[in-house]
Amino acid sequence: MTTTMHLEDDDLVLHYYGEMAEADEARAETHLAGCSACQQNYTRLQRVMAFVDSAPAVEAPQGFEAVAWARLQMELPARRGNWLSWFVFSPARLAFAAGVVVLIGAAFMAGRLSRATAPGGAAAVQTAEKVRERILLVDLGEHLDRSQRVLVELTSADDSAGSVDISTEQVRAEQLVAANRLYRQTAASTGDVAMASILDDLERVLVDVAASPSTVSQEDLDAVRRRIASKELLFKVRVISSQVRERQKAAIPQRTTHTLGS
Amino acid sequence: MPHTDATTVALARDGDAEAFRSLVDRHSRAVYRLAHRMTGNTQDAEDVVQDTFLKAYRQLGRFESRANFSTWLHRIAVNCSIDLIRSRRHQEAGHDAADLEALDGAHGSDERVDPSPERLMLSSEVQERVGRAMETLTHMERAAFVLRHFEGQSIEEISRALGLKANAAKHSIFRAVRKMRLALEPFVES
């Protein structure tokens, strides 16, 4: 950069943020003072930046604090025993959860990779992966079945009395949230967008239910039901649940007859 | 009388769940705002909020009572956002040129839909315009731009935080600003 040459757009960015080297900065100042073209360009940059600054940040939805807390409660480790029950927060459970992330990732990836032809020398690794995949598919299938049951119970709960006790569904939803989050994140990180999206919709309903009072009004329950219906959540969860079951079946190794010398 | 953050942190550190909950109540919105700016979408922002408070909870013992809790939490939130963005890094190939072309193409239609400067003055409109412009940035460009522009971090600090060479961090910011200018100048100038 020289005082005679015009300032590049990138120079103006550095100047705007005060990131130019001292000598360059002085030259830029001098150039800007005497060059109307660069001044105009710099003014345009400043106006865009001012426009960016004037945009308010995106706010969290109403009631976000309660939802954030409901999600957190599931994963906070116990402190001096006065937090939620041991089975929700125990280190063993957290370790299990961490293991689940790794294993689900392997299962998701295995589901994808198993379509490709594996090299012949990797038989042992493949077998171990298949076992992991089967275990995880069973866990995921169970998670989806349990989630389905919660959705069905919410959808079919008798609300004729005007208010409904959902404490049982609430406890189940609480227990499902943390695992669901792990499954969702893993699906997202392995590029399974469809699965991640359904699990995200499911998680929002589970968190809502977990954060609700144990007795809800008919209107509140209707709102949850509308949410389930609008996303066709029950149907979608059934579909992926049956897909997971299909994958479970496909992951069961075919029996082979071993003969001596073969 | 409501507790100060320092008192509440001390209670939370001693195992008071309600104290930690009140910290979540007080600060989760601010963390969400930052996380959304950094990541650009609701789901990731919610995950960052979750990770931030989990990390904060685990590190409560290291928090110095003389420090400002919200500043400390803000730093954790930035780091959690960066962790998430870095984990996505492999998913985005360099699509700079294509982005810029797509942005060029998108311009005309945007202008035709809403040319009114009065409407643009509404903050929600401005928010939408800026939000859409930021959607054209890659994860890395977005993170570098937010850290530089909103968080006031130097290029040196950004390169360290994002695990980039200083030159790469600088060019991420250049590309981000170029895209923002391309997207927003027509509205700002009108």
Domain count, chain A: 2
In this structure, the answer to whether residues B159 and B128 fall within a common structural domain is yes
ipTM of this predicted structure = 0.78
Please judge whether A17 and B130 are an interchain contact, meaning their C-beta atoms are less than 8 angstroms apart.
no
Chain B residues with CB under 8 Å of A84 CB are 17
From B87, B122, B153, the end of a domain falls on B87
List the one residue out of A28, A55, A64 whose CA is nearest residue B123: A55
Phi, psi of A171 (to 5 degrees): -60, -45
Provide the sign of the torsion angle of the four alpha carbons B88, B89, B90, B93, taken in this order.
Answer: positive
- pLDDT at position A47 is 92
Cα(B183)–Cα(B185) distance, rounded to whole angstroms? 6
A260 located within any domain: no
Provide the chain B residues 111-170 that lie in CB contact (below 8 A) with chain A: 123, 126-127, 129-131, 133, 148-149, 154-155, 170
Q: Position of tokens 């008919």?
A: A218
At B36-62, the pLDDT tens digits run: 999 998 999 999 999 999 999 999 988
**Which CATH number does the domain housing residue B124 bear?**
1.10.10.10
In this structure, the answer to whether residues A150 and A237 fall within a common structural domain is yes
Look up the domain containing B61 and give its range. Answer: 5-87
Provide the chain B residues 75-104 that lie in CB contact (below 8 A) with chain A: 87, 91
Please judge whether B28 and A64 are an interchain contact, meaning their C-beta atoms are less than 8 angstroms apart.
yes
- pLDDT at position A29 is 93
Instruction: Locate the chain B residue with the closest alpha carbon to A182.
Output: B47
Please judge whether B20 and A82 are an interchain contact, meaning their C-beta atoms are less than 8 angstroms apart.
no
In this structure, the answer to whether residues B107 and B68 fall within a common structural domain is no
A115 located within any domain: yes
Please judge whether A55 and B91 are an interchain contact, meaning their C-beta atoms are less than 8 angstroms apart.
no
At B145-158, the pLDDT tens digits run: 999 999 999 999 99
Chain A residues with CB under 8 Å of B20 CB are 76
Instruction: Locate the chain B residue with the closest alpha carbon to A40.
Output: B189
Does A77 reach chain B within 8 Å, measured CB to CB?
A: yes
Does A85 reach chain B within 8 Å, measured CB to CB?
A: no
Chain B residues with CB under 8 Å of A75 CB are 50, 54
In this structure, the answer to whether residues B105 and B174 fall within a common structural domain is yes
From B62, B87, B112, the end of a domain falls on B87
Which SS3 state, helix, strand or coil, does residue A20 take?
coil
- pLDDT at position B80 is 94
A256 located within any domain: no
- pLDDT at position A30 is 93
Look up the domain containing A16 and give its range. Answer: 9-54
In this structure, the answer to whether residues B115 and B66 fall within a common structural domain is no
Cα(A36)–Cα(A139) distance, rounded to whole angstroms? 68
Query: Is the separation of the CB atoms in B50 and A68 below 8 Å?
Result: yes
Question: Average model confidence (pLDDT) for chain A?
Answer: 77
At B14-33, the pLDDT tens digits run: 888 899 999 999 999 999 99
In this structure, the answer to whether residues A83 and A160 fall within a common structural domain is yes
In this structure, the answer to whether residues A227 and A151 fall within a common structural domain is yes
In this structure, the answer to whether residues A105 and A235 fall within a common structural domain is yes
- pLDDT at position A90 is 42
- pLDDT at position B25 is 95
* CB contact set of B37 (below 8 Å; sequence gap of 6+): A57, A58, B146, B150
In this structure, the answer to whether residues B76 and B116 fall within a common structural domain is no
A59 located within any domain: no
Most confident of A159-168, B69-78, B83-92: B69-78
A20 located within any domain: yes
Q: What percent of chain B has pLDDT over 70?
A: 81
Q: How far is CA A72 from the centre of its chain?
A: 14
* Position B91 confidence tier, pLDDT thresholds 50, 70, 90: low
pTM strictly above 0.80: no
Instruction: Please list the alpha-helical segments (H only) found in A84-122.
Output: 86-89, 91-113
Closest in B91, B127, B170 to A55, CB measured: B127
In this structure, the answer to whether residues A47 and A137 fall within a common structural domain is no
Does A193 reach chain B within 8 Å, measured CB to CB?
A: no
- Between CA A67 and CA A71, with CA A69 as vertex, the angle to 5 degrees is 70
Please judge whether A68 and B53 are an interchain contact, meaning their C-beta atoms are less than 8 angstroms apart.
yes
A44 located within any domain: yes
In this structure, the answer to whether residues A41 and A107 fall within a common structural domain is no
**Which CATH number does the domain housing residue B22 bear?**
1.10.1740.10
Cα(A201)–Cα(A182) distance, rounded to whole angstroms? 14
Cα(B174)–Cα(B172) distance, rounded to whole angstroms? 5
From B31, B65, B87, the end of a domain falls on B87
In this structure, the answer to whether residues B103 and B135 fall within a common structural domain is yes
Cα(B184)–Cα(A48) distance, rounded to whole angstroms? 6
Residue ranges of chain A with per-residue pLDDT less than 70: 1-4, 77-132, 251-262
At A144-187, the pLDDT tens digits run: 988 988 998 888 888 888 888 888 888 888 888 888 888 888 88
A140 located within any domain: yes
A49 located within any domain: yes
Question: Average model confidence (pLDDT) for chain B?
Answer: 83
